[in-house]
Amino acid sequence: MTWLTPDPGEHPALRLRRLLDEGRTIAVPGVFNGLSALLARDAGAEALYLSGAAFSASMGMPDVGLVTLDELARAARQIVRVTRLPLIVDADTGFGGALMVMRTVRELEGARCAAIQIEDQRDPKRCGHLEGKRVIEVEAFCEKVAAAARARQHLVVIARTDARATHGFEEAVRRGLAYREAGADVVFPEALETEEEFAAYAREVPGPLLANMTEFGKGPLLPVQRLAELGYRLVIFPVSAARVAARQVRAFYRDLLREGTQAPWLERMMTREELYELIGYDDYAELDRSLARGTPEEP
């Protein structure tokens, strides 16, 4: 399979909706480019998450709202076209007001993304587990959520509230209910601090919920199975792979520059054959040969 020929399947947003309708809890690994996404798919992922923090870091920048819509849409398109898996895209605050949120939805749905996540922070936004966040008024964010729901055709709308850190648990609950009423398909309470809070939130805000299991944050690292028991349907691991990759690549560069050879790392590398299999080298070669022969590619 290559992305150079049309995808015969349904829109990935419909696949994500079907996964949510099944009532199962889906572990959603964070990815930050096409290669990391292929690795997640190869490991068995059913859906993927393009984290704003991981994507910003891959560009060498902090997650403080510096990424543009065009940059995000281009990265999302790259991931979807090579994996054809449902992709949840972290769109931060939606890049502006309600009309800009609508454009963001149209751009990402046009890139065959499955879901958009927007949050109720004020610009400039901050990482959800750091101090110094501010949130906009409930009514203003409900307008953004309603705009996203109106603009989409199939796209799943995920509304994140950062109010737990700024105004307390009860305000996060109030906002979750309001955002659901405004049209959110999934509610994402960011930076809950205890297992008891995760359980209480699920009791008080009915419907599909997303849990963020980011490392080094304010909350506990709960297993997917436990979150399923509590009532969460999507569990994201937004920056885990980026952190692992960054630490390992840094160690490799240090050894390479100190020793002047990569030889000690060979057993920790993918072989040429493994990498080519992952990226579908033979599929592209066969497509090229079929074009030379003038024969159609097998579906």
For residues 69 and 164, state if they share a domain: yes
Question: Phi and psi for 161 in degrees, rounded to 5?
Answer: -115, 135
pLDDT of res. 123: 80
For residues 123 and 263, state if they share a domain: no
Instruction: Categorize the per-residue pLDDT at 21 as very low, low, confident or very high, splitting at 50, 70 and 90.
Output: very high
pLDDT of res. 295: 65
Helix ranges, the chain (H): 12-21, 34-42, 52-58, 69-83, 98-110, 138-151, 163-167, 169-182, 195-204, 224-230, 240-259, 272-279, 281-293
For residues 83 and 202, state if they share a domain: yes
For residues 228 and 264, state if they share a domain: no
pLDDT of res. 3: 87
pLDDT of res. 296: 65
Task: Calculate Rg over the CA atoms of the chain.
Answer: 20
For residues 194 and 76, state if they share a domain: yes
pLDDT of res. 125: 73
128 part of a folded domain:
yes
Question: pTM of whole model > 0.75?
Answer: yes
pLDDT of res. 127: 67
pLDDT of res. 297: 57
Whether the CB-CB separation of 127 and 63 falls below 8 Å is answered with yes
- Tens-digit pLDDT profile for residues 45-57: 999 999 999 999 9
For residues 170 and 266, state if they share a domain: no
Residue tagged 């922070």 (tokens) = 121
Could you tell me the CATH number of the domain that includes residue 217?
A: 3.20.20.60
Those residues with Cβ within 8 angstroms of residue 40's Cβ, 6 or more apart along the chain or in another chain: 29, 31, 48, 83, 241
299 part of a folded domain:
no
pLDDT of res. 130: 63
1 part of a folded domain:
no
4 part of a folded domain:
no
The conformation of residue 10, written as its DSSP 8-state character, comes to: -
Number of domains in the chain: 2
**Domain range spanning residue 142?**
12-241
- Tens-digit pLDDT profile for residues 215-258: 998 899 999 999 999 999 999 999 999 999 999 999 999 999 99
For residues 166 and 273, state if they share a domain: no
Distance CA 85, CA 295 (A): 28
pLDDT of res. 129: 64
For residues 228 and 275, state if they share a domain: no
Distance CA 74, CA 72 (A): 5
- Tens-digit pLDDT profile for residues 92-136: 999 999 999 999 999 999 999 999 999 999 987 766 566 777 999
pLDDT of res. 9: 83
For residues 118 and 260, state if they share a domain: no
For residues 268 and 157, state if they share a domain: no
Q: In 3D, which of 36, 8, 2 has the Cα closest to residue 238? A: 36
3 part of a folded domain:
no
pLDDT of res. 59: 95
For residues 217 and 287, state if they share a domain: no
Report percent pLDDT > 70 for the chain.
Answer: 96
**DSSP state letters, 245-295:** HHHHHHHHHHHHHHHS--GGGGGGSPPHHHHHHHHTHHHHHHHHHHHHHT-
2 versus 50: which is more confidently predicted?
Answer: 50
- Tens-digit pLDDT profile for residues 284-296: 999 999 999 876 6
pLDDT of res. 298: 56
- Tens-digit pLDDT profile for residues 142-194: 999 999 999 999 999 999 999 999 999 999 999 999 999 999 999 999 999 99
234 part of a folded domain:
yes
For residues 196 and 231, state if they share a domain: yes
